[in-house]
Structure 1
């Protein structure tokens, strides 16, 4: 289009971006902050976000975002999201131009980029694939729009990510089919995977009592993190010291395992009551039994205290014991992330597992490469449901 301009957004564009979402979704977009002009102004001034807009004769007709990490813990990961074009301007290539511009601008500063594309239509999937992203996962019924929707996870590796990737992931058999498909889609070798067939999960030691986070526990939690958090069990893109000091702002909850007054373990999670999504962001303990105890308590917490439709965790692809533990607690593999996180001078693979506590809504429109991943995740979900009924 002759007069279309793709540019980086400024704080002055906050109202125009809000109007794009209103025109496209009404008031049904699940991330309500996109309707909050003050929040948008803060986001547009934040170095951890790249926001582009498409402008046609002074009117904003599209936007695309990249959520970047910040500081030394960002792992050079970027989430490509919020790609929206107003209904009257679709099918003019605006979405593709916004996506291509995002890739061009972020390619020098990223190693790992990912998209969580909607599956009620194939447009975001097609654009992502056209821009070099390949499917590595399928998140069943994760998002709440007018109804629950599933998301296709698509990844592109940038720069030296392939060279820095640590080989020989150690995986349980249940994760193997998804890992192989993801590696093939990203043109990475699957020959060096080590399959851990006899691995057992962490046992449950019930010799602890449970306590929820309180400010008085801050020194103990910091000490526990210092003593027990290497190597990381859970990947959440936010360092624990930042999470601890931003608990209230991030609406995080920590479950603490203790014996007497001594703190032995902690499980942190973020819960979105609107979307009914729970994400585990931390899991630390002084021994294996306390990890099993905390996960058992989380299952009880979800059943009795929270209305959770979808829970998830991202764990190391080199820790089959934790993988098996999550499988034993009803989680199943939904995505495999090659070269996901940076540790020292190498990038580590990760496994995303989920627990679905809501019906799987249908009505998918999937491109062929995503359909293959969906079939694998559906089998994983059905196997988890069968195992749960057998307990």
Structure 2
């Protein structure tokens, strides 16, 4: 009689998960798993969390150009053809992203070597930031494939491969359910900001939770040593972040805004607007001032009625005031439901102008912006605005609930 060999896999304890930094997260896996996303990763470990139902561990590998069509089909199937960011349903665009060094697509395969899902990472090497999005499992494999282990394995592979090139990783998690928030939290990716009514999924308006994890060096070695200067209204955001990262002292400043009316008139006369549209519906809009290096640039996404990715440079607060007024005019004209602006935590006058314009601080991001000239990282504050009411059925994990409670958004 043949005996069946029983393989006992190393088990990762609960207290070894939910890490504080990428360094801490990777430590227990160092001797257990070979983080080889190029040749395929086998998740030969168990975790001490979950439902207790035995699920299949996927093999994780890098996507190839030939996988583009199947990836687009996964997006169409999972979202019933309603996914608003249509570039993810375009085979040519996905293929170009797979072939780009700024995107990494991971493929999940089952034991029969069939593709069961995918995961996307967008890499910003200049800022040393990684954006994680689009964790997908085909419907027929949901409940069969271990999604938590797939998430953990993906992070092991990516964070090990790009350990010295990417120093922070972030994502925007849905609030129609807690699954993505929880899977992020297991890996130490913790809530940091709230984006009310930012997105649209399955044709329904939905809020997002921004979550983040850092390499310890970017917080404790590379972060600017100067005190942030923040307005009183941003204190709750700061308190939430410093409770986790021990950020040190700040200067609380409530500046009085005194604008030069003659300057405002001159700036308004010199405003120029440029709009670029692409085939997927995105509009990149830039304001500039004639004979000046100042600008205010942002991305408008009509299909979800939001504005994000704002970048600006100004010489004085009058220029920023005019840019903000022009920005709000555009938002109203385009029927924008949500917009966000990341602003320096060392520019209280800029913060106050945004506050006066109706935006509210809803997240404090340590070491978010790399100062290339001075070679260190500076904190940012996220200000945003939304129309409408937040869904009463919003689903939050404990950490997300604490964030919203601290911000005064959720009781």
TM-score by length of 2: 0.77
Residues in 2 aligned to 1:346 and 1:84: alpha-carbon distance in whole angstroms:
35
Contact 2:320 2:350 in 1 (8 A): no
Which residues in structure 2 correspond to 1:193-342 (within 5 Å)? 193-196=250-253, 198-201=254-257, 203=259, 205-207=264-266, 208-209=268-269, 211-213=271-273, 251-258=283-290, 262-263=291-292, 265-279=294-308, 281-303=310-332, 305-342=333-370
Contact 2:106 2:119 in 1 (8 A): yes
Contact 1:169 1:194 in 2 (8 A): yes
Residues in 2 aligned to 1:379 and 1:189: alpha-carbon distance in whole angstroms:
23
Query: Which of 183, 197, 200 in structure 1 is aligned with 2:242?
Result: 183
Q: Please say which of residues 280-289 and 158-167 is displaced more in the overlay.
A: 280-289
Residues in 1 aligned to 2:301 and 2:341: alpha-carbon distance in whole angstroms:
15
The alpha carbon displacement at 1:32 in A equals 1.4
RMSD (CA atoms): 2.4
**Aligned-partner SS, 2:232:** coil
Residues in 2 aligned to 1:151 and 1:45: alpha-carbon distance in whole angstroms:
29
Residues in 1 aligned to 2:311 and 2:248: alpha-carbon distance in whole angstroms:
31
Contact 1:50 1:66 in 2 (8 A): yes
**Aligned-partner SS, 2:76:** helix
Contact 1:134 1:156 in 2 (8 A): yes
Residues in 2 aligned to 1:339 and 1:253: alpha-carbon distance in whole angstroms:
27
Could you tell me which residue of structure 2 aligns to residue 347 of structure 1?
A: 377
The ranges of structure 1 where at least 4 consecutive aligned residues each deviate by more than 6 angstroms after the TM superposition are none
The alpha carbon displacement at 1:75 in A equals 0.9
Contact 1:132 1:156 in 2 (8 A): yes
The alpha carbon displacement at 1:122 in A equals 0.3
1:373 matches 2:403: yes
Write the deviation string for residues 24-55 of structure 1: whole angstroms up to 9, x where unpaired.
Answer: 11111121112111111111111101111111
Residues in 2 aligned to 1:337 and 1:43: alpha-carbon distance in whole angstroms:
28
Write the deviation string for residues 299-346 of structure 1: whole angstroms up to 9, x where unpaired.
Answer: 22222x211011111111111111111101111112211111222332
Contact 1:202 1:322 in 2 (8 A): no
Contact 2:296 2:313 in 1 (8 A): yes
The alpha carbon displacement at 1:81 in A equals 0.9
The alpha carbon displacement at 1:378 in A equals 4.7
Could you tell me which residue of structure 2 aligns to residue 156 of structure 1?
A: 213
Contact 1:18 1:34 in 2 (8 A): yes
1:31 matches 2:85: yes
Could you tell me which residue of structure 1 aligns to residue 134 of structure 2?
A: 82
Where do 5+ consecutive residues of structure 1 fail to align?
A: 216-246, 383-391
Q: Please say which of residues 13-22 and 158-167 is displaced more in the overlay.
A: 158-167
Change (3 A) 1:86 1:37: same
Write the deviation string for residues 204-246 of structure 1: whole angstroms up to 9, x where unpaired.
Answer: 623332544359xxxxxxxxxxxxxxxxxxxxxxxxxxxxxxx
**Aligned-partner SS, 2:383:** strand
Q: Larger helix proportion, structure 1 or 2?
A: 1
Change (3 A) 1:264 1:159: closer
Q: Please say which of residues 286-295 and 313-322 is displaced more in the overlay.
A: 286-295
Where do 5+ consecutive residues of structure 2 fail to align?
A: 1-54
**Aligned-partner SS, 1:148:** strand
The alpha carbon displacement at 1:263 in A equals 4.3
Residues in 1 aligned to 2:274 and 2:93: alpha-carbon distance in whole angstroms:
28
Residues in 1 aligned to 2:154 and 2:369: alpha-carbon distance in whole angstroms:
21
Could you tell me which residue of structure 2 aligns to residue 231 of structure 1?
A: none
Could you tell me which residue of structure 2 aligns to residue 41 of structure 1?
A: 95
Residues in 2 aligned to 1:214 and 1:320: alpha-carbon distance in whole angstroms:
29
The alpha carbon displacement at 1:348 in A equals 1.1
Change (3 A) 1:252 1:116: same
The alpha carbon displacement at 1:183 in A equals 2.7
Write the deviation string for residues 229-283 of structure 1: whole angstroms up to 9, x where unpaired.
Answer: xxxxxxxxxxxxxxxxxx556731122345xxx4474322211111111125232
